[in-house]
């Protein structure tokens, strides 16, 4: 060693010349940047900066360590891993993007209980232990028509819990047309296995009749179950037993009928491009004994699995040990209570999901034109086009939401989308026919300048600092 290598173009020498953390901590030119930071944060930023430069040098670049590398590291450290993004995909309930945005009222309620203590499990009248579900049970009863309610972590958990509590060691009868995979690895037969229930499949993929369920009923039957086909459609030569007919059979044979409804709309959602979706109150009214649905799909609240149904069955479910394992925290209860109040008060349009799904197409066209104007101010060529979005989140699989978008034909689309994701507020778009599509359905008016800024930066092929 000691002899400078020439065969590597000076790479080794540059690596050896990397400053130490100690040296950087005392470098006068960095003093102003680091002085106000906790020492641990300053050290973490310097380590990150040096590691990044080392990687750059190893990759064959020649640019040596600069103070600007510390600025970049400080910026990275100051950026949370989980942060807001702008949804320009046109998919409203995008599971990858956090599903339902919460109503302002729900956000405020979360903040009010998150900061300090609250009566989560404390009965203020009696001065003794209370139930964490109490704040939402009355609202859920009122809004669904069910006798009782319970809330757990999500609908997958709710389905698992209901089956474990009502059918463990017994049989659960399900149509072959409903043995679905919801996404993220949630498959009805697997959940069934985990719950300890024995799956009894009846009917065929496309046709299941009342007589199929009837023939499968036995003294060992724990539940008759229906699973909503949330994310696919069955068309053509099909037949299924509606909740009402199945409930009548269940009542006659004294077997509870459980419905995993998934999307869980509380009201019929009517809007351009939307398809009919069974509501929770209609499912309860049709005679389902237990209904499970998501809090953050069509309901537009926090992630939660809501279980409503007959008191005696809910009592059995509540006592199951999984209820404790799947319980929700104070922030979920707070957001759910505030969201349900909006429905109770007839203000469903204040629930963002509801608004996003029902924007009149003229509103979306005007919004796309405003985005286009902002882009032209930045000399970016784009055009407005009608497009179609989706509900997402495994709801209304056939619905195509007529929408409007700005279409960009700048460079290679995948690389362009990557640049947009690198914006300080990342913009998530999609590619269609080799062009970048920015659907405005899920963008607020105040988001448009941010989108235009991100596009401007991406079009220069650089990421913002
Ligand atoms: C989405 C869905 C689930 C899972 O709900 P999560 O709240 O995401 O856990 C379960 N069942 C059906 C029918 C669904 O559509």
- DSSP three-state, residue 426: coil
* pLDDT tens for each residue of 59-116: 999 999 999 999 999 999 999 999 999 999 999 999 999 999 999 999 999 999 999 9
Residue 193 burial (CB count, 10 A): 13
Pocket probe mutation, ligand 1, options 96, 98, 155, max atoms within 8 Å of Cβ: 155
Nearest ligand 1 atom to the CA of 180 is 13
In this predicted model, which residue has the larger pLDDT, 185 or 123? 123
How confident is the model at residue 241, as a pLDDT? 95
**Atom 11 of ligand 1 has which residue's CA nearest to it?**
262
**In angstroms, what is the span from residue 156 Cα to ligand 1's centroid?**
5
**In angstroms, what is the span from residue 38 Cα to ligand 1's centroid?**
44
Q: Rounded mean pLDDT of 1-30?
A: 84
Q: Rounded mean pLDDT of 32-59?
A: 95
User: Mean pLDDT for the chain?
Assistant: 94
How confident is the model at residue 126, as a pLDDT? 95
CATH number attached to the domain at 104-349? 3.40.640.10
- 284 touches 144 (CB < 8 A): yes
Predicted confidence band at 1 (pLDDT cuts at 50, 70, 90)? very low
Q: Rounded mean pLDDT of 122-151?
A: 96
**In angstroms, what is the span from residue 263 Cα to ligand 1's centroid?**
7
How confident is the model at residue 4, as a pLDDT? 53
How confident is the model at residue 93, as a pLDDT? 95
Report the top-level CATH class of 86-95+355-459.
Answer: alpha beta
**Burial environment of residue 335 by CB neighbours within 10 A (0 to 12, 13 to 18, 19 or more):** buried
**Atom 14 of ligand 1 has which residue's CA nearest to it?**
262
What spatial distance separates the first Cα and last Cα of the chain, rounded to whole Å? 40
**In angstroms, what is the span from residue 147 Cα to ligand 1's centroid?**
22
290: left (phi over 0), alpha (psi -120 to 50) or beta: beta
Pocket probe mutation, ligand 1, options 93, 99, 162, 186, max atoms within 8 Å of Cβ: 186
Q: Is the pTM of this model over 0.85?
A: yes
**In angstroms, what is the span from residue 302 Cα to ligand 1's centroid?**
13
Task: List strand residue ranges (DSSP E) for 58-180, in order.
Answer: 86-87, 91-93, 122-123, 128-129, 148-152, 171-175
Nearest ligand 1 atom to the CA of 228 is 13
**Atom 13 of ligand 1 has which residue's CA nearest to it?**
262
Residue 2, pLDDT > 60, answer: no
Return the percent helix, strand and coil in the chain, to nearest 5. Answer: 45, 20, 40
* pLDDT tens for each residue of 424-441: 999 999 999 999 999 999
**Atom 2 of ligand 1 has which residue's CA nearest to it?**
262
Q: What 8-state DSSP symbol labels residue 103? A: P
Nearest ligand 1 atom to the CA of 99 is 8
Q: What 8-state DSSP symbol labels residue 332? A: H
- 157 touches 305 (CB < 8 A): yes
Nearest ligand 1 atom to the CA of 227 is 13
Q: What 8-state DSSP symbol labels residue 176? A: G
Residue 132, pLDDT > 50, answer: yes
Nearest ligand 1 atom to the CA of 393 is 1
How confident is the model at residue 8, as a pLDDT? 79
Could you write out the DSSP letters of every residue in 128-155?
A: EE--TTHHHHHHHHHHH--SEEEEES-H
Nearest ligand 1 atom to the CA of 230 is 15
Using CB distances shorter than 6 Å, the residues near ligand 1 are: 154-156, 159, 182, 186, 227-228, 230, 260, 262-263, 294, 305, 394
* pLDDT tens for each residue of 244-282: 999 999 999 999 999 999 998 999 999 999 999 999 999
The residue assigned the tokens 């430069």 is 53
* pLDDT tens for each residue of 286-295: 999 999 999 9
Residue 408 burial (CB count, 10 A): 23
**In angstroms, what is the span from residue 98 Cα to ligand 1's centroid?**
14
Pocket probe mutation, ligand 1, options 94, 179, 182, max atoms within 8 Å of Cβ: 182
């Amino acid at each position: 060693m000691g002899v400078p290598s020439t065969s590597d173009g000076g790479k080794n020498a540059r690596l050896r010349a990397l400053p130490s953390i100690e040296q950087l901590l005392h470098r006068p030119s960095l003093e102003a940047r680091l002085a106000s930071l906790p020492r641990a944060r300053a050290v973490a930023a310097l380590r990150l900066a040096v590691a990044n430069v080392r990687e750059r040098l190893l990759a064959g670049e020649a640019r040596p360590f600069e103070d600007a590398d510390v600025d970049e590291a400080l910026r990275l450290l100051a950026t949370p891993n989980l942060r807001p993004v702008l949804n320009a995909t046109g998919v409203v309930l995008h599971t990858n993007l956090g599903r339902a945005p919460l109503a302002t009222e729900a956000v405020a309620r979360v903040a009010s209980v998150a900061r300090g203590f609250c009566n989560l499990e404390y009965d203020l009248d009696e001065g003794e232990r209370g139930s964490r579900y109490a704040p939402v049970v009355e609202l859920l009863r009122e809004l669904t028509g069910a006798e009782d309610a319970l809330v757990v972590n999500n609908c997958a958990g709710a389905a698992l819990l209901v089956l474990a509590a009502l059918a463990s060691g017994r049989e659960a009868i399900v149509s072959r047309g409903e043995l679905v995979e919801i996404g993220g690895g949630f498959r009805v037969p697997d959940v069934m296995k985990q719950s300890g229930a024995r799956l009894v499949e009846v009917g065929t993929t496309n046709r299941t009749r009342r007589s199929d369920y009837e023939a499968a009923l036995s003294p060992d039957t724990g539940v008759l179950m229906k699973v909503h086909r949330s994310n696919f459609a069955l068309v053509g030569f099909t037949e299924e037993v509606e909740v009402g007919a199945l409930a009548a059979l269940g009542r006659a044979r004294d077997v509870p009928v459980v419905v995993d409804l998934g999307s869980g709309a509380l009201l019929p959602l009517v809007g351009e491009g939307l398809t009919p979706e069974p509501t929770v109150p209609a499912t309860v009214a049709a005679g389902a004994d237990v209904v499970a649905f998501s809090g953050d799909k069509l309901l537009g609240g926090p992630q939660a699995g809501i279980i409503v149904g007959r008191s005696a069955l809910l009592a059995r479910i509540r006592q199951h040990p999984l209820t404790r394992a799947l319980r929700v925290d104070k922030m979920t209860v707070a957001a759910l209570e505030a969201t349900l109040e909006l429905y109770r008060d007839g203000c469903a349009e204040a629930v963002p999901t509801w608004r996003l799904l029902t924007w009149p197409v003229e509103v979306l066209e005007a919004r796309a034109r405003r985005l286009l104007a902002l882009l032209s101010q930045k000399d970016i060529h784009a055009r407005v086009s009608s497009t179609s979005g989706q509900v997402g989140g495994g709801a209304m699989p056939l619905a195509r939401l007529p929408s409007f978008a700005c279409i960009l034909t700048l460079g290679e689309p995948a690389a362009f989308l990557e640049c947009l994701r690198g914006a300080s507020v990342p913009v998530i778009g999609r590619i269609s026919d080799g062009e970048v599509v920015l659907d405005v359905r899920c963008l607020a008016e105040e988001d448009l300048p941010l989108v235009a800024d991100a596009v401007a930066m991406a079009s220069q092929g650089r990421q913002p600092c």
